[in-house]
Amino acid sequence: MHVLKARRATLFIFLVCGLGIATWAPLVPFAKERLALNEAQLGLLLLSLGAGALIMLPLSSIFLHRYGSRNVILVAGLLMALLLPTLVVLAHPMAMGAALFFFGASMATVDVAMNVQALSVEKQLQKPIMSSFHGLYSLGGILGPLVMAGLLKVPLSPLLAASLVSLSLVILLFTQYKALLPAMEEVRNESSAGLSWPSGPVLFLGLMCFIAFLAEGSILDWSGVFLRDVHHVDSPLLGLGYAAFSVAMTIMRLVGDGLTQKLKAQTLVKGGALLASAGFGLVILSPWYELSLVGFTLVGLGAANIVPIFFSASGQLPNTSAAQALPIVTTIGYAGQLAGPALIGLVAELTSLPIAFAGIAALLLLVSLSYRTFH
């Protein structure tokens, strides 16, 4: 059955996207050293990646309506894969900034297109499957740094290591492309093609994703700082908070489809947001860092399926196509991941990091309470 082949191919595409993004993380120190940048200069350089993503997210709707998600995935995915090795060799900050901009833009385009493809597969199968797709994305996020670390330890040069990963991504894209659903089988509504002012439900889903991504981004950027400053954890252990969160989220997403069928999406969102909020509470109130790690784990378990469910809901809104709604929801959501950590830093500077985490816990409670009125 071709839809089952499309499902398998889409799973691989989510893995490709997760691997491609996560592979960049271990290369950042090499870029900093090669370009002789200080922390502030590196931060400004990295903004170009986020800028490319945020600009392309809403524009991707145009490409999706014109060419279909299958073709968009192939072209943008190839661009992302081929740009990866250049991030290891470019020696001028302007050239590096341009490469990162297009890397972020291609990454964002693949992200939206693969979610539109996943929504189309989900609609044909008539059962919730979005969480498993995002589980493969999360798995790619875990495997990317591990693969790069292994290749660099062999030892291979950063360029050769990045080139091998790039080649693997290209092979996966070409081998899976034909199995993806063509444009004629996608969730589409041509009367709503292109850019338009988002409806209330689209904005609501976007804001809920903003909070969920804010929670994820806060742990990525601030869990290590929290463990160091509050619990005085040694440097080699500072990554344990994010590791606990990531593994918990990946496992929960891989089993999330079955849970969605048994518990229903509304129950999973409300309960998951409550669990994630309680996890932040445990992180804040724990007198021991080991118990804070349990809290980070609870956040991963609770938040894991919120975004996949919201993405799925954006493809089921009346009078709105998935190719129109999803780029808007994704743009607002990823703004939480990109800008959120800076907001947390501002709140932490004015008050404290535990209070900033408490604010996220309160926002997650808002997600739990408000989603019942929406759905």
Instruction: Report the alpha-carbon distance of residue 268 to residue 140 in Å, rounded.
Output: 24
Element (H, E) at 366: helix 353-374
Segment 236-251, tens digit of pLDDT: 777 788 889 999 999 9
Q: Is the pLDDT of residue 197 over 90?
A: no
Question: Tokens for 217?
Answer: 């981004």
Q: Which domains does the chain have, with CATH numbers?
A: 2-182 (1.20.1250.20), 200-374 (1.20.1250.20)
Percentage of the chain beyond pLDDT 90 is 46
**CA-derived radius of gyration, the chain:** 20
Residue 153: per-residue pLDDT: 82
Angle at 162 between CA 156 and CA 163, to 5 degrees: 95
Question: Tokens for 23?
Answer: 């592979």
Residue 186: per-residue pLDDT: 67
Segment 200-249, tens digit of pLDDT: 888 999 999 999 999 988 887 788 888 988 888 887 777 788 889 999 99
218 with 357: CB under 8 angstroms? yes
Segment 54-108, tens digit of pLDDT: 889 888 888 988 899 999 999 999 999 999 999 999 989 999 999 999 999 999 9
- The arithmetic mean of pLDDT across residues 258-266, rounded, is 86
Instruction: Report the alpha-carbon distance of residue 72 to residue 78 in Å, rounded.
Output: 10
**315's torsion region: left (phi>0), alpha (psi -120 to 50) or beta?**
alpha
- The arithmetic mean of pLDDT across residues 258-283, rounded, is 92
Residue 192: per-residue pLDDT: 44
- pLDDT-derived band at 198 (thresholds 50, 70, 90) equals low
Q: Higher pLDDT residue, 13 or 194? A: 13
- Tokens 């089921």 map to which residue? 316
Residue 185: per-residue pLDDT: 66
The number of beta carbons lying within 10 Å of the beta carbon of residue 7 is 22
Residue 189: per-residue pLDDT: 46
- The arithmetic mean of pLDDT across residues 312-339, rounded, is 82
316 with 276: CB under 8 angstroms? no
342 with 214: CB under 8 angstroms? no
**Residue 75 backbone phi and psi in degrees, to 5:** -65, -50
DSSP per-residue letters across 27-62: GHHHHHHHTT--HHHHHHHHHHHHHHHHHHHHHHHH
Residue 82: per-residue pLDDT: 95
300 with 245: CB under 8 angstroms? yes
Segment 185-195, tens digit of pLDDT: 665 544 444 45
Which among 285, 287, 288 is positioned nearest to 277, based on CA atoms?
A: 285
CA separation (Å) from 369 to 5, 273, 313? 38, 9, 17
- The arithmetic mean of pLDDT across residues 144-163, rounded, is 86
266 with 358: CB under 8 angstroms? no
Q: What is the mean pLDDT of the chain?
A: 87
- pLDDT-derived band at 374 (thresholds 50, 70, 90) equals low
CA separation (Å) from 91 to 36, 97, 99, 289? 9, 11, 11, 41
Residue 46: per-residue pLDDT: 80
142 with 250: CB under 8 angstroms? yes
340 with 294: CB under 8 angstroms? no
Instruction: Report the alpha-carbon distance of residue 86 to residue 122 in Å, rounded.
Output: 36
Q: Is the pLDDT of residue 363 over 80?
A: yes
Angle at 246 between CA 240 and CA 248, to 5 degrees: 100
- The arithmetic mean of pLDDT across residues 272-293, rounded, is 95
214 with 360: CB under 8 angstroms? yes
Which among 126, 136, 179, 124 is positioned nearest to 12, based on CA atoms?
A: 136
Q: Is the pLDDT of residue 260 over 60?
A: yes
